[in-house]
Amino acid sequence: MTFAALGLAPELLKAVSEQGYENPTPIQAAAIPVVLAGQDVLGAAQTGTGKTAAFTLPILQRLLKHASSSVSPAKHPIRALVLTPTRELADQVHDSVTTYAKYSKLRNHVVYGGVDIKGQIPALRSGVEILVATPGRLLDHIEQKSVNLSQVEILVLDEADRMLDMGFILDIRRIFNLCTARKQTLLFSATFAPEIKKLADDFMSSPQLIQVERQNSTNESVKQELHPVESYRKKALLAHLIRLHEMEQVIVFTRTKQNADQLSRDLKRDGFAVEAIHGDREQRARMETLAGFKEGRVKVLVATDVAARGLDISDLPFVVNFELPNNPEDYVHRIGRTGRAGATGVAISLVAPEEEKAFEQIRKLIKKDLALIPVPGFSPGTEQLGTPRRDDFAARTDRGSSRGERAGRDARTDRPRSERDGQRRDAYAERAPRRDRDIDPMAGVVFPTNLPPLPARPQQQIAALFLPPKARPPVVAVETGSEE
């Protein structure tokens, strides 16, 4: 199937071929004819499937008859409105519309919060046919009368599930009611919770369901690797994995903004080119960070779910879940950042014992038997010599001697240093869990990649991995020398 066979106009085909797209993706092949026919669509499409072009191209085609070179704003009313949950997604959709509309006379614009509203008004007043917006800022414009939705013919809700999660339901209903001339509605969502179905029942007429993959499924081109690890060792393991896999571009997800900032600071101290992106950062800083990441200046992007939603970074090779998300559907979205449009990717999750519930929910949702495979040197319940805690201890005792302590004596107490060190070790031993003092018996052992999955029940899997080493069931392993 070619784009030409879908009946798209020459000006759109030219823009598409400039992007290097050879054939429509499955969602494009399925949705374009239905949208062109004027039908409502419920699209169950994951990120990375090409869904933006799946709705943008037929919308442009349907609006081509209104394209006008007149300078009169009255000749350019808003005829298509695309709502997105986040600013980043709004920007990306707007970029796509600009790309595909470049050989037509149709105008488009984007509005979202976090930037001065006044700067957005002149473009709106001069008239645009396609407006991409986040719901809150759109309503601000409606209140200021800089936007009129009475001639909107096509309304698109992109990532509708996320808009609902973010509490936009009342705003969306209000916007639906303002689009009085609406003839067609397209709703895209990775999942179909009851509220989405209710929205579709209330506002859509006989929508055609277009589903390119099973709901809540994860993309087959994403290799999922899950490693059990205690929380306090996650940062060291992440640094180890970034170096081991020579990751040049990776998004690392944390659960909270504070954790994103903290992790970003820690990795920076370790010499990584890292930036954090989350809702508390100013829009301009977020855009700069994103640009740096796309251009390769920033290699590690630490992100929260909301900030990362809809980021289109093509060919992203790695995604790391530093913490599992509270909402299992976010796991699907997160790992959808990699393995996009046919490329393969690796999604790595670091799973601590306290994340057992989240892990179980993810397995239930995606219906896959995910196995937890320890990383040599980071097996739960063990600690190797030379990890930061012990280095830290050694460094402190070294500093003591360089301050001119009398040979073998403690400067403050004048007691033999071995006695003081002994006390420090005891203090360390009190703080550290008992198992920290064990030396990893699995150090130097490399697990074969085809390790059979551990028992099916997740609780048992996690419990088995966090048992003290001696109690752990024997595992077949190949000795090939130390990994670290």
Contact positions toward ligand AMP, by CB under 6 A?
21, 24-25, 28, 47-53, 312, 314, 340-341
Indicate the residue among 52 and 104 with the shorter CB distance to ligand AMP.
52
Indicate the residue among 176 and 331 with the shorter CB distance to ligand AMP.
331
Indicate the residue among 41 and 179 with the shorter CB distance to ligand AMP.
41
Indicate the residue among 29 and 238 with the shorter CB distance to ligand AMP.
29
**In the complex, minimum distance from the CB of residue 161 to ligand AMP, in angstroms, rounded to a whole number:** 15
3-state secondary structure the chain: CCCHHHCCCHHHHHHHHHCCCCCCCHHHHHHHHHHHCCCCEEEECCCCCCHHHHHHHHHHHHHHHHCCCCCCHHHCCCCEEEECCCHHHHHHHHHHHHHHCCCCCCCEEEECCCCCCHHHHHHHHHCCCEEEECHHHHHHHHHCCCCCCCCCCEEEECCHHHHHHCCCHHHHHHHHHHCCCCCEEEEEECCCCHHHHHHHHHHCCCCEEEECCCCCCCCCCEEEEEEECCHHHHHHHHHHHHHHCCCCCEEEECCCHHHHHHHHHHHHHCCCCEEEECCCCCHHHHHHHHHHHHHCCCCEEEECHHHHCCCCCCCCCEEEECCCCCCHHHHHHHHCCCCHHHCCEEEEEEECHHHHHHHHHHHHHHCCCCCECCCCCCCCCCECCCCHHHHHHHHHHHHHHHCCCCCCECCCCCCEHHHHHHHHHHHHHHHCCHHHHCECCCCCEECCCCCCCCCCCHHHHHHHHHCCHHHCCCCCCEECCCCC
Q: Quote the CA–CA distance of 146 and 79 in Å, as a whole number.
A: 15
**In the complex, minimum distance from the CB of residue 71 to ligand AMP, in angstroms, rounded to a whole number:** 32
Indicate the residue among 29 and 178 with the shorter CB distance to ligand AMP.
29
**In the complex, minimum distance from the CB of residue 284 to ligand AMP, in angstroms, rounded to a whole number:** 23
CA distances from 305 to 47, 194, 309 (A): 14, 22, 6
**In the complex, minimum distance from the CB of residue 80 to ligand AMP, in angstroms, rounded to a whole number:** 16
**In the complex, minimum distance from the CB of residue 120 to ligand AMP, in angstroms, rounded to a whole number:** 24
Q: Quote the CA–CA distance of 354 and 229 in Å, as a whole number.
A: 10
Indicate the residue among 179 and 316 with the shorter CB distance to ligand AMP.
316
Indicate the residue among 22 and 479 with the shorter CB distance to ligand AMP.
22
**In the complex, minimum distance from the CB of residue 198 to ligand AMP, in angstroms, rounded to a whole number:** 26
**In the complex, minimum distance from the CB of residue 310 to ligand AMP, in angstroms, rounded to a whole number:** 7
Query: Exposed (0-12), middle (13-18) or buried (19+): which is 390, by Cβ within 10 Å?
Result: middle
**In the complex, minimum distance from the CB of residue 365 to ligand AMP, in angstroms, rounded to a whole number:** 20
Indicate the residue among 82 and 250 with the shorter CB distance to ligand AMP.
82
**In the complex, minimum distance from the CB of residue 52 to ligand AMP, in angstroms, rounded to a whole number:** 3
**In the complex, minimum distance from the CB of residue 50 to ligand AMP, in angstroms, rounded to a whole number:** 3
Indicate the residue among 48 and 376 with the shorter CB distance to ligand AMP.
48
Indicate the residue among 39 and 99 with the shorter CB distance to ligand AMP.
99
